[in-house]
Amino acid sequence: MINMQKNKETEKNHKKTSSKTIFFQHFICILINITKTKGNALMGKLVEGLWDCPFCNNKRIRAGQKTCPNCGHPQDESTKFYMPDTVEYVPEEKAAKISRNPDWQCSFCGSLNSDNLYSCENCGATKEDSERNYFEMRQQEEEKKRKKEEQKAAFRGKVKKEAPKKKEKVKKSLIKRVLLFFGIIAAIIFGMIACFAPTVKNVTIDDFDWERTIDIEEIVTHNESDWSLPDGARLQHTKNEIKTYKDDVLDHYETVTETKTRSVIDHYEEYSSYKDLGNGYFEEQTESVPVYTTETYTEDVQKPVYRQEPVYATKYYYEIDRWTVVDTAKSSGHDQNPSWPEPKLKDGQRTGDENEHYFVTATYQKKKDKTETEKYEMAFSEWKELKKGEEIELKIDVDGFAEINKD
For 294-334, how does the pLDDT look when each residue is reduced to its tens digit (9 = 90+)? Answer: 999 999 999 999 999 999 999 999 999 999 999 999 999 99
Strands 391-396 and 370-378: unpaired
pLDDT at residue 326 in the model: 94
Beta strands in 163-280 (DSSP E): 199-226, 234-276
Phi, psi (degrees; rounded to nearest 5) at 177: -65, -40
pLDDT at residue 35 in the model: 43
3-state secondary structure of 185: helix
Q: How far apart are CA 237 and CA 366, in angstroms?
A: 66
Please report which confidence band the pLDDT of residue 236 belongs to, taking 50, 70 and 90 as the band edges.
Answer: very high
What is the number of other CB atoms lying within 10 angstroms of the CB of residue 33?
10
User: For the chain, what is the mean pLDDT?
Assistant: 86
Q: How far apart are CA 216 and CA 213, in angstroms?
A: 10
pLDDT at residue 179 in the model: 85
Q: How far apart are CA 203 and CA 365, in angstroms?
A: 8
Judge contact between 101 and 296, C-beta under 8 A. Answer: no
Weakest mean pLDDT among 53-62, 93-102, 192-201: 192-201
Q: How far apart are CA 360 and CA 375, in angstroms?
A: 6
Query: Is the predicted pLDDT of residue 133 greater than 50, yes or no?
Result: yes
Could you write out the DSSP letters of every residue in 97-110? HS-SSPPEE-TTT-
| Surface-to-core class of residue 132, CB atoms within 10 Å of its CB (0-12 exposed, 13-18 middle, 19+ buried) | middle
Q: Average the pLDDT over 279-307 and give the result.
A: 95
Query: Is the predicted pLDDT of residue 12 greater than 90, yes or no?
Result: no
Judge contact between 324 and 218, C-beta under 8 A. Answer: yes
H or E element, residue 183: helix 165-196
Most confident of 4-18, 32-46, 200-214: 200-214
Q: Average the pLDDT over 171-193 and give the result.
A: 79
Query: Is the predicted pLDDT of residue 5 greater than 50, yes or no?
Result: no
Phi-psi region of 3 (alpha: psi -120 to 50; beta: other; left: phi over 0): alpha
Taking alpha carbons only, the member of 293, 287, 288 closest to residue 266 is: 293
Please report which confidence band the pLDDT of residue 193 belongs to, taking 50, 70 and 90 as the band edges.
Answer: low
pLDDT at residue 60 in the model: 95
Give the amino acid at 204: T
pLDDT at residue 172 in the model: 75
Q: How far apart are CA 113 and CA 78, in angstroms?
A: 14
For 246-265, how does the pLDDT look when each residue is reduced to its tens digit (9 = 90+)? Answer: 988 999 999 999 999 999 99
Give the amino acid at 309: E
Give the amino acid at 157: G
Q: How far apart are CA 12 and CA 19, in angstroms?
A: 11
Q: How far apart are CA 209 and CA 375, in angstroms?
A: 9
Taking alpha carbons only, the member of 380, 375, 378, 350 closest to residue 363 is: 375
Q: How far apart are CA 294 and CA 262, in angstroms?
A: 6
Judge contact between 236 and 329, C-beta under 8 A. Answer: no
What is the number of other CB atoms lying within 10 angstroms of the CB of residue 215?
18
Please report which confidence band the pLDDT of residue 400 belongs to, taking 50, 70 and 90 as the band edges.
Answer: confident
Q: Average the pLDDT over 9-24 and give the result.
A: 43
Taking alpha carbons only, the member of 241, 205, 406, 393 closest to residue 314 is: 241
pLDDT at residue 20 in the model: 45
Separation of CA 282 from chain center: 41
